[in-house]
């Protein structure tokens, strides 16, 4: 009897994705039976799922697994990014419950959507086929459109969801057109096969279709990582979305975008390096400058952090342009520390708001340092880290990104980066000036720290300070995960 050969599936390569998506679907079913005041239990269940997944990620370290006939590859690079996604999802879930209860939109679908978005990011990080990367990106984006518009009754949230959806779908069109042209030029969608085809037929530099495909893909990815000039959606969406979801959106998808961006460009198109390095050089400078200069004028702290997240995408692009081991390790280290510092800052923003009054203006923080010294110290640590002041992790990350650029010979890029970073100190310190040097206007007596948010703050402070003071271990991990 003829046997049918099984295709090479290898579930070990998608173990974390499998666990997370099974838990997400189970939670959707359980959600029906949970009364609305007890939706927090769904959050705890999803946290357990994330912890289990985290252990499989740790267990997979050092043993690369290839699956699905070469369309996913779970190597150290993917695993490091998966760790970042899980950390950002867990921290965002910890701050969600209190916020969602306060705003009376405590729907249980929140947690499965976060898990599915995380699953999409993981597929983006481990995809080695344009198709897998596209599917991961869409799983992520579709979940995020819903999360941005999650507060159905709030017009701002509706607007954020609608804007994100229209611009996200628009950018997907560009990304896909780029993928189609690259497929046309090389006849394959596997990124390793693309590289070997381009090298064998020496298409680099002569093939216009390949070049246009590369540029269109860069446009698509730049939308996702919020790089200027494709950043216009960012501040609006970040301001309108529910604050915990803004925290999630500003970290995870950005890291996922970079993971896919780096993998496609470094592995599939190394022969076009001269072309894309120039392109990204310009993007990096534009992104840093536009982000920082616009952030200087923001009064709303969520918008300020949105522009600052654009600027941070610019710093990370510096490491990408450098393209050497130091720069790439810097990208990973920086994205991890960015997860801690940014979500930590958003946790404080969640706490300062009350129902109907988000208290998002910088003036609302007047005297916060006298009323709640401990929380203000946490906020200061996060802001120092975002500004890149030692001994916070943000400093080490920036140091590696810029020294990678200098080693690769991009001295000017590093100088522009450092100047930008210096300018950014102004708007981070302004919040601290309001916290510590203005008289309190409000009593901040509505402010209650739930145990979940306290846990989130403790993890975030530890995640900012420990790698900032003893960065060796994490940097070593990041260097082992580099793709080169």
Partner 1 sequence: MVSLHSYLILSAILFSIGTIGVLTRRNAIVIFMCVELMLNAVNLTFVAFSRYLGNVDGQIFVFFVMTVAACEAAVGLALMIAFFKNKESIDVEDVNLLKW
Instruction: Give the residues lining the site for partner 1 (CB under 8 A).
Output: 130-131, 134-135, 138, 142, 145-146, 149, 152-153, 155-156, 158-163, 165-166, 169-170, 172-173, 176-177, 179-181, 183-184, 187-189, 235-237, 239-240, 294, 297-298, 303
Q: How far apart are alpha carbons 275 and 211 in whole angstroms?
A: 8
H or E segment at 65? Answer: strand 65-67
Q: Give me the least distance between CB of 52 and partner 1, in Å please.
A: 27
The token duo for 377 is 């110290």
Q: How far apart are alpha carbons 423 and 416 in whole angstroms?
A: 11
Q: Give me the least distance between CB of 267 and partner 1, in Å please.
A: 18
Q: How far is CA 191 from CA 65, 77, 147, 323, 450, in A?
A: 16, 15, 31, 18, 46
| Closer residue to partner 1 in complex, CB, 10/188 | 188
- SS3 of 307, please? helix
| Closer residue to partner 1 in complex, CB, 125/306 | 306
Q: Give me the least distance between CB of 245 and partner 1, in Å please.
A: 14
Q: Which residues contact 386 (CB under 8 A, 6 or more apart)?
A: 308, 312, 341, 342, 345, 394, 424, 428
| Closer residue to partner 1 in complex, CB, 60/136 | 136
Rounded to 5 degrees, what are φ and ψ at 72? -130, 150
Q: How far is CA 382 from CA 137, 222, 320, 337, in A?
A: 29, 26, 24, 10
| Closer residue to partner 1 in complex, CB, 212/429 | 212
Q: Give me the least distance between CB of 150 and partner 1, in Å please.
A: 10
The token duo for 424 is 């950014």
Q: Give me the least distance between CB of 190 and partner 1, in Å please.
A: 9
What b/e readout covers 209-225, taking b as 16+ CB neighbours within 10 angstroms?
ebbebbbbbbbbbbbbb
| Closer residue to partner 1 in complex, CB, 161/330 | 161
Q: How far apart are alpha carbons 279 and 277 in whole angstroms?
A: 5
Long-range (24+ apart) CB contacts under 8 A made by 148-152 are: 148/237, 148/240, 148/241, 148/245, 148/249, 149/241, 150/105, 150/107, 150/110, 150/241, 150/242, 150/245, 151/103, 151/105, 151/242, 152/105
Provide the 10 A C-beta neighbour count for residue 476: 11
Q: Give me the least distance between CB of 306 and partner 1, in Å please.
A: 10
Q: Give me the least distance between CB of 193 and partner 1, in Å please.
A: 10
Q: Give me the least distance between CB of 33 and partner 1, in Å please.
A: 24
Report which of 250, 390, 246, 260 is spatially closest to residue 313, judged by C-alpha positions.
250
Q: Give me the least distance between CB of 350 and partner 1, in Å please.
A: 19
H or E segment at 196? Answer: helix 191-200
Q: Give me the least distance between CB of 134 and partner 1, in Å please.
A: 7
In sequence order, what E strands does 107-207 have?
Answer: none
Q: How far apart are alpha carbons 31 and 80 in whole angstroms?
A: 31
Give yes or no for a cis peptide into 6 (omega within 30° of 0): no
Q: How far apart are alpha carbons 143 and 464 in whole angstroms?
A: 28
Q: Give me the least distance between CB of 129 and partner 1, in Å please.
A: 9
The token duo for 317 is 């692009």
Rounded to 5 degrees, what are φ and ψ at 173? -55, -45
| Closer residue to partner 1 in complex, CB, 44/297 | 297
Q: Give me the least distance between CB of 132 and partner 1, in Å please.
A: 10
């Amino acid at each position: 009897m003829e046997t049918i050969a099984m295709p090479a599936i290898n579930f070990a390569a998608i173990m974390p994705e499998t666990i997370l998506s099974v838990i997400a679907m189970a939670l959707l079913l359980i959600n029906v039976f949970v009364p609305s005041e007890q939706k927090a239990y769904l959050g705890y269940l999803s946290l357990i799922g994330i912890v289990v997944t985290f252990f499989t990620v740790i267990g997979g370290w050092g043993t690369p697994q290839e699956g699905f006939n070469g369309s996913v590859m779970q190597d150290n690079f993917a695993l490091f990014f998966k760790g970042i996604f899980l950390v950002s999802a867990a921290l965002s879930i910890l701050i969600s419950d209190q916020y969602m209860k306060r705003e009376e939109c405590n729907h249980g679908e929140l947690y499965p959507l976060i898990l599915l978005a995380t699953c999409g990011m993981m597929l983006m990080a481990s995809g080695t086929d344009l198709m897998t990367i596209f599917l991961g990106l869409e799983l992520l984006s579709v979940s995020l459109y819903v999360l941005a518009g999650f507060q159905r009754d709030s017009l701002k949230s509706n607007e954020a969801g609608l804007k994100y959806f229209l611009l996200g779908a628009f950018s997907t069109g560009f990304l896909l057109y780029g993928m189609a042209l690259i497929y046309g030029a090389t006849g394959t969608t596997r990124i390793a096969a693309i590289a070997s085809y381009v090298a064998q037929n020496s298409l680099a530099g002569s093939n216009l279709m390949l070049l246009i495909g590369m540029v269109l893909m860069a446009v698509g990815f730049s939308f996702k990582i919020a790089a200027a000039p494709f950043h216009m959606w960012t501040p609006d969406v970040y301001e309108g979305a529910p604050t915990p979801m803004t925290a999630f959106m500003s970290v995870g998808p950005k890291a996922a975008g970079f993971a896919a961006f780096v993998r496609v460009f470094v592995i599939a198109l190394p022969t076009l390096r001269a072309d894309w390095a120039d392109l990204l050089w310009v993007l990096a400078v534009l992104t840093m400058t536009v982000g920082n200069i616009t952030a200087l004028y923001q009064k709303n702290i969520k918008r300020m952090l949105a522009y600052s997240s654009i600027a941070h995408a610019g710093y990370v692009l510096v490491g990408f342009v450098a393209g050497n081991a130091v720069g790439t390790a810097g990208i990973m280290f920086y994205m991890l520390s960015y997860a801690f510092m940014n979500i930590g800052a958003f946790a404080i923003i969640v706490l300062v708001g009350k129902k109907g009054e988000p208290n998002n203006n910088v003036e609302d923080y007047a005297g916060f340092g006298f009323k709640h010294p401990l929380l203000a110290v946490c906020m200061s640590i996060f802001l120092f880290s975002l500004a890149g002041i030692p001994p916070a992790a943000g400093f080490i990350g920036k140091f590696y990104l810029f020294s990678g650029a200098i080693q690769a010979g991009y001295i000017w890029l590093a100088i522009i980066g450092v100047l930008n970073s210096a300018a950014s100190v102004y708007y981070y310190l302004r919040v601290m000036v309001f916290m510590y040097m203005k008289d309190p206007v409000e009593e901040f007596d509505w402010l209650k720290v739930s145990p979940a948010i306290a846990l989130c703050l403790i993890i975030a402070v530890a995640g900012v300070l420990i790698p900032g003071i003893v960065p060796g271990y994490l940097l070593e991990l990041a260097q082992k995960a580099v793709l080169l």
